[in-house]
Amino acid sequence: MLDLAKDFDAQSIISAFSEVGYIMDEELATIIFLLLKLNKPLLIEGNPGIGKTSTATHLAKALNTRLIRLQCFEGLDLQNAVYEWNYQKQLLGIKIREKSEESTKEKESEIFGADYLLKRPLLESITELDKAPVLLIDEIDRADEEFEAFLLELLSDFQISIPEMGTIKALHVPHVILTSNRTRELSDALRRRCLYHWLDYPTPEKEMAIINKHYPEIEAKLATSLVKVIQQLRTQKLNKVPGVSETLDWVSGLMALGYKTLDAEVLEKTIGCFIKSQADIESLQGEAIEKLLEVS
Amino acid sequence: MMLSDTKNTNGLASHLRDFIHFARRRGFPISIQQGLDMIEVARTGIIFQKRPFYYALKAVCCIDKDQIPQFDELFRIFWFGGEDSESVRKDKMRIEEIQNLPKKQGTLTIWGYGGSNQEGDHLAKTVTGANSQERLMKVDFSSLPDMETGVLDELAQRLWREMSKRLKKRLRSTKGRDVIHMRQTIRKSLEQGGDPIYLLLKQKKKRKKRLVLLLDISGSMEKYSFFLLRFIQALQMYFEKVESFAFSTRLERLTDLLQKELVISDLQQLSSRIKDWSGGTRIGHCLGTFNETYSHRLLSSRTTLIILSDGLDTDPPGMLSRELEKISTRVKEVVWLNPLKGKPGYQPEARGMAEALPHLDHFQTAHNLESILELESLLAHA
């Protein structure tokens, strides 16, 4: 575990992540170091299934703090992202207070009080009492530009203003990680506010380490040939290139089925674990599979 | 400059400042905020280790994957010297070469804005009137005398802009019932002592539609490409989400170039970019490049993809059809605008066109102003 109160460096970050089961290289560790030191948000881009999201989840684990996740989607609005009033409760509250002697102003301030507020991820992230949480804003490229603009404001002051209540300022500035699959260009303004990291497919050595971390009982021979096949596949023109999560899916599939070596038959049977598009599966039938195995 | 020089922290800020200037001079943008961030990074002490220093600076300076190679190069030259002087000199030479390039008339310059055309413009203006306007609307771009290019361009710009504006203003009927806006309703109900008498409604937010345009600028399209380019530009100015590309043997993204008002020098720049792309039209290949590089970013079920081409393809058979099929499964509509279709007696028999037809939702012409204006209804539903 990483203690922010004590002195730490990139190396201690690497080992803290390793403890919680995440293999990290020096580059990302350096950037995480900056994220923690400078309190700057980090934007991670990369192909799907490569460990962008799990960087954030493991950061929360390594810091032993809460992970607050905001999954972005098209049409995401502030009510889903920031806060909403609990309308049913408000209606009841109004009815209950109908006969009371309070003035309208008093009633209003009660109905728009903290009890009636439903916190959504962004508001939650700045009102955490104990210590700074990790705020994961996942797939920001799916959200609309308007939301991005709002986020920009939040990320610079870490405060949210609710018209009925006033401005709420962050008690602890959260550690923010944004991920993007590049399905839409993000604005330069947002990019400039963040540290940037392009997460690439892992090297064979790193991929081996990842597999061993997750499945220590795997046989070295199987792991080696599997990594070779996957790495080979990534150089081919596929619709959906297998990421690290596909590799792990495949390993778990092979382990569950009890296979100890890779051959054409095994590969064909388990192809659905790592190739997830019909066109790709078709293109990999027959000879192509033999070729893949030749390399391994 | 060597990294060891930076051991002295006082000097560090100025070294960083030099690096920023160095990078900016070479066209790598670094904002003031990023500069300040760099100093902050330096304060963490990370800077005294070689690799972490590089990683940290990279994370602060780069804002996109595409910038990383350039950053790496700049970083290496500045902090580790080496071929510094050599590459800087080359850099300069290259810039000078570009500046001294004789301003040849490329395909597009001849069209519209050649030097001598100014005169033509002037001459033509004197003969415009309602009648000639009507005539111009119908004239095929390829048979237009040089002299009238300017007039037609002006007219086209005006009409296309009006069209784009109309498209933007058009209202749509909403499907389904409106939803109660609880927050506003409760607020309002306080006035009536808590009874929600007035229901305030909210509507689903409009989803933005996307338009992707692929313009063929090969030799066979030469006569049309200038006007079609102007048309794309008009669309780009008024639609929010338009991405445009030009292709012949390679694919080139045009969106950035067309975002500003197109001026003569841009056209020259574009034509010089295009000039060395001689040879046939590799439509299949270019669509393939598009599929690989841009499709996941730009194509969705709300995208209308428009290809402006004569369909004369020199790629091996099957390629165009394969790539186009990939596109058509991912988008809402594929529209093919073929200027040749406007010629009397034209049949889509060219292999490329015949291959493409099964994957198209619309196949129309775009050979004159009138035909382009007819696209309005198509675009309105795009």
So what's the pLDDT on residue A28?
A: 94
So what's the pLDDT on residue B167?
A: 67
Note whether B46 contacts A: Cβ–Cβ < 8 A: yes
CA distance A32 to chain B (A): 10
* DSSP-derived secondary structure for B157-215: HHHHHHHHHHHHH---PPPS--EE-HHHHHHHHGGGTT---SPPEE-PPPPPPEEEEEE
Select the residue of A182, A194, A197 nearest B297 (Cβ to Cβ).
Answer: A182
Residue B4 predicted with pLDDT over 50: no
**Mean pLDDT of the region B203-217:** 76
Select the residue of A38, A107, A188 nearest B63 (Cβ to Cβ).
Answer: A188
Distance CA B372, CA B230 (A): 11
**Mean pLDDT of the region A179-190:** 85
Note whether B41 contacts A: Cβ–Cβ < 8 A: yes
For residue A162, which residues of chain B lie inside 8 Å, CB to CB? none
At residue A117, what are phi and psi to the nearest 5 degrees? -95, 130
Secondary element (H or E) of residue A23: none
Tokens found for residue B149: 């290019």
For residue B51, which residues of chain A lie inside 8 Å, CB to CB? 26-27, 30
Cβ of B297 and A193 within 8 Å? Answer: no
Per-residue pLDDT of A68-95, as tens digits, reads 999 998 888 888 899 999 888 988 888 8
Write out the residues of chain A at the interface with chain B, using a CB-CB cutoff of 8 A: 10, 26-27, 30-31, 33-34, 37-38, 40, 42, 45, 74-75, 77, 79, 84-85, 87, 90-91, 94-95, 97-98, 104, 107-108, 111, 144, 182-185, 188, 191-198, 237
Q: Given the structure tokens 């345009």, which residue do they identify?
A: B213
Round to the nearest angstrom and report the end-to-end CA distance of chain B.
56
Note whether B65 contacts A: Cβ–Cβ < 8 A: yes
Orientation angle between helical segments B32-43 and B50-61, nearest 10 degrees = 160
Contact present, A177 and A53 (Cβ < 8 Å): no
Cβ of B41 and A10 within 8 Å? Answer: no
Residue B349 predicted with pLDDT over 70: yes
Per-residue pLDDT of B188-201, as tens digits, reads 887 777 777 777 77
User: What single letter denotes the amino acid at residue A181?
Assistant: N
So what's the pLDDT on residue B67?
A: 87
pLDDT above 70 covers a percentage of chain A that reads 99
| Residue count (chain B) | 382
Per-residue pLDDT of B7-41, as tens digits, reads 455 677 888 889 999 999 888 889 888 898 888 88
Query: What's the Cα-to-Cα distance from B4 to each of A26, B16, B46, B52, B80, rounded to whole Å?
Result: 21, 14, 14, 14, 10
For residue B44, which residues of chain A lie inside 8 Å, CB to CB? 33-34, 37-38
Q: How many helices (H) and strands (E) does chain B have?
A: 19, 8
For residue A185, which residues of chain B lie inside 8 Å, CB to CB? 297
So what's the pLDDT on residue A61?
A: 94
So what's the pLDDT on residue B147?
A: 64
Best residue of A45, A196, A197 to probe chain B, by most B CBs closer than 10 Å: A196
Note whether B33 contacts A: Cβ–Cβ < 8 A: yes
Q: Of the given ranges (A25-39, A81-95, B230-244), which has the lowest mean pLDDT?
A: B230-244
So what's the pLDDT on residue B132?
A: 64
How is residue A203 annotated by DSSP?
P
Contact present, A159 and A168 (Cβ < 8 Å): yes
Give every CB contact of residue B311 below 8 A, 6+ residues apart in sequence.
B283, B336, B338, B340, B348, B350, B352, B353, B356
Per-residue pLDDT of B73-131, as tens digits, reads 999 998 887 555 455 544 444 444 444 444 333 333 333 333 333 333 333 333 344 55
Give every CB contact of residue A30 below 8 A, 6+ residues apart in sequence.
A10, B46, B51, B52, B55, B56, B59
Residue B249 or residue B327, greater confidence: B327
Select the residue of A34, A183, A185 nearest B59 (Cβ to Cβ).
Answer: A34
User: Could you give the ipTM of this predicted complex?
Assistant: 0.82
For residue B186, which residues of chain A lie inside 8 Å, CB to CB? 85, 87, 90-91, 94, 111
**Mean pLDDT of the region A243-256:** 93
What is the count of residue pairs from A and B with beta carbons less than 8 Å apart?
Answer: 95
Per-residue pLDDT of A113-134, as tens digits, reads 889 999 999 999 999 998 999 9
Cβ of A33 and B46 within 8 Å? Answer: yes
Q: HSE-up of B50 (CA within 13 Å, CB side)?
A: 7
Cβ of A197 and B59 within 8 Å? Answer: yes
Note whether B105 contacts A: Cβ–Cβ < 8 A: no
pLDDT above 90 covers a percentage of chain A that reads 46
Note whether B63 contacts A: Cβ–Cβ < 8 A: yes
Distance CA A162, CA B134 (A): 58
Contact present, A224 and A260 (Cβ < 8 Å): no
So what's the pLDDT on residue B106?
A: 36
Note whether B278 contacts A: Cβ–Cβ < 8 A: no
Cβ of A196 and B31 within 8 Å? Answer: no
Distance CA A181, CA A51 (A): 12
CA distance B34 to chain A (A): 7
